[in-house]
């Protein structure tokens, strides 16, 4: 959500920001609605003042026995009352139109976000480790002999359709171990608060974080109006929805492991093989609610939290600053972390860490009270994957593959897998 006062004060800057997003200038439409709304409000206030003045005179006219004036004034009061009600309704309608317009516009991005049309224009800012070079033809995760028994797409298609998977046996256990490892690391080493939240949310929660109204087709809605969360960003961020907290309440740093649901409406035909792009998947999500002065450093801290998971898993990755044509709707800046997948011979996204400024906070009306007693201000919100569990599974399997088709698993999973760090060619842990 955008600050209408900032648009009034500098419409040229706002139009320039929307142009960087690939949109037409918006300020003239916004300010026209804003002016119409303000005119109606002013007219309603003037009519109310006239109504109040006439109401006072009604009693005086009656007291002095001036029946003609009494009737005139009483009629005037009734007319003004109707006028006030009409103008208030019209002002509310203009306000709703303005709100709808502002709710549909993306966040203003930071100046250091690179200009570009798509992901090919993203700018690499960090690289860790060397991509594993195999001396045998690399297989994708779903082609590995030890994985095939525990990764069943055919049964999932029978149960639910395409882009679902049934995991079983050792593969399911590795998947669970990865999620537990991520959670423990974020809680024990990174200082995040483990949180368990619903995966069904009300519509206003999706509005608060920006999934609605524009991207409803990307998510699933139940017949009674709930929405399935596309990410725990929705629930974790909305913890402060409608709240005004004390400044010393901040920062709040949450982590949650949840099921996530996405229709993948805009990705027809992409990544249909394997479990890279699924309708139902798991993520360990990080969310921070911070003082505005902390948001820059917080994004760097969260990015390091996600990168650290990959480093502990011994996986090569790179971090990129998303360009204007690839950045998400609610973000002011996003760092994508891409892990190396030998089976595809390329880096693929495994985490996005975004800072949203006060964009979501305005939609949620989430504020903090300054400790010096000043006027309440909007908090800043950030979110990031720490990590996508299914994609971490893919990366671990593909990077650990051996000549004989077995998979050597990362040492950090030792305690989670009872010390068994080899997935054998027959799908067992040993």
Catalogue the active-site residues: 262, 277, 349, 352, 391
Is 124 known to sit in a ligand binding site? no
Instruction: Say whether 257 sits in a helix, a strand or coil.
Output: strand
8 A C-beta contact, residue 238 and residue 364: yes
Angle between helices 11-20 and 27-63 (to 10 degrees): 140
Task: Calculate Rg over the CA atoms of the chain.
Answer: 28
Task: For tokens 């010096």, name the residue.
Answer: 372
Is 263 known to sit in a ligand binding site? yes
Is 350 known to sit in a ligand binding site? yes
Is 385 known to sit in a ligand binding site? yes
Task: List Cα–Cα distances, 278 to 30, 117, 161, in angstroms.
Answer: 38, 25, 11
Is 199 known to sit in a ligand binding site? no
Main-chain phi, psi angles of 178, to 5 degrees: -60, -45
Closest CA to 107 of 240, 295, 306: 295
Measure the CA angle with vertex 404, ends 402 and 406; round to 5°: 60
229: Cβ contacts below 8 Å, ≥ 6 apart: 198, 199, 200, 201, 219, 235, 258, 260, 261
The token duo for 150 is: 């525990």
**Stated length of the chain:** 430
Is 172 known to sit in a ligand binding site? no
Closest CA to 162 of 66, 274, 74, 266: 274
Is 185 known to sit in a ligand binding site? no
Is 203 known to sit in a ligand binding site? no
User: In this structure, are strands 367-369 and 244-246 parallel, antiparallel, or unpaired?
Assistant: parallel
The token duo for 428 is: 């067992």
8 A C-beta contact, residue 337 and residue 305: no
Torsion of CA 138, 320, 231, 271, to 10 degrees: -30
Task: List Cα–Cα distances, 304 to 123, 335, 353, in angstroms.
Answer: 17, 11, 10
Is 282 known to sit in a ligand binding site? no
Instruction: Say whether 166 sits in a helix, a strand or coil.
Output: strand
Is 285 known to sit in a ligand binding site? yes
Binding residue ranges: 231-233, 262-264, 285, 349-352, 385
Binding residue ranges for ATP: 262-264, 349-352
């Amino acid at each position: 959500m955008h600050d209408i006062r900032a648009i009034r004060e500098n419409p040229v800057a706002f139009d320039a920001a929307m142009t960087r997003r690939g949109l037409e200038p918006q300020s003239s439409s916004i300010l026209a609605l804003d002016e119409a709304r303000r005119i109606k409000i002013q007219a309603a206030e003037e009519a109310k003042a006239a109504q109040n003045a006439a109401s006072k005179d009604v009693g005086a006219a009656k007291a002095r026995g001036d029946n003609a004036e009494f009737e005139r004034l009483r009629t005037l009061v009734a007319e003004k009352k109707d006028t006030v009600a009409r103008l208030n309704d019209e002002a509310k309608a203009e306000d709703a139109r303005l709100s709808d317009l502002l709710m549909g516009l993306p966040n203003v991005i930071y100046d250091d976000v690179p200009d570009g049309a798509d992901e090919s224009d993203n700018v690499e800012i960090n690289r860790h480790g060397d991509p594993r070079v195999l001396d045998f033809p690399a297989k994708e995760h779903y082609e590995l002999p030890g994985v095939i028994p525990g990764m069943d797409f055919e049964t999932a298609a029978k149960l639910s359709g395409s882009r679902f998977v049934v995991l079983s046996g050792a593969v399911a256990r590795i998947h669970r171990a990865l999620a537990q490892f991520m959670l423990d690391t974020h809680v024990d080493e990174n200082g995040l608060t483990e949180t368990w939240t619903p995966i069904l949310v009300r519509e206003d929660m999706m509005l608060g974080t920006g999934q609605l109204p524009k991207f409803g087709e990307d998510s699933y809605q139940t017949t009674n109006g709930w929405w399935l969360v596309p990410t725990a960003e929705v629930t974790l961020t909305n913890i402060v929805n409608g709240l005004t907290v004390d400044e010393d309440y901040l920062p709040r740093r949450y982590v949650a492991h949840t099921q996530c649901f996405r229709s993948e409406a805009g990705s027809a035909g992409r990544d249909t093989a394997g479990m890279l792009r699924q309708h139902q998947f798991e993520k360990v999500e990080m969310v921070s609610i911070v003082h505005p002065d902390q948001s820059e450093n917080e994004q760097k801290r969260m990015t390091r939290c996600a990168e650290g998971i990959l480093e502990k898993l011994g996986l090569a990755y790179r971090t990129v600053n998303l360009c204007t044509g690839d950045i998400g709707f609610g973000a002011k800046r996003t760092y994508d972390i891409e892990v190396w997948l030998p089976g595809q011979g390329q880096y693929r996204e495994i985490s996005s860490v975004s800072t949203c400024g006060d964009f979501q906070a305005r939609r949620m009306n989430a504020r903090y009270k300054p400790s010096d007693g000043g006027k309440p201000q909007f908090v800043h919100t950030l979110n990031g994957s720490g990590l996508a569990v299914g994609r971490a599974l893919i990366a671990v399997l593909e990077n650990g593959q051996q000549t004989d088709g077995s998979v050597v698993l990362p040492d950090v999973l030792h305690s989670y897998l009872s010390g068994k760090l080899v997935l054998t060619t027959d799908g067992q842990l040993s």
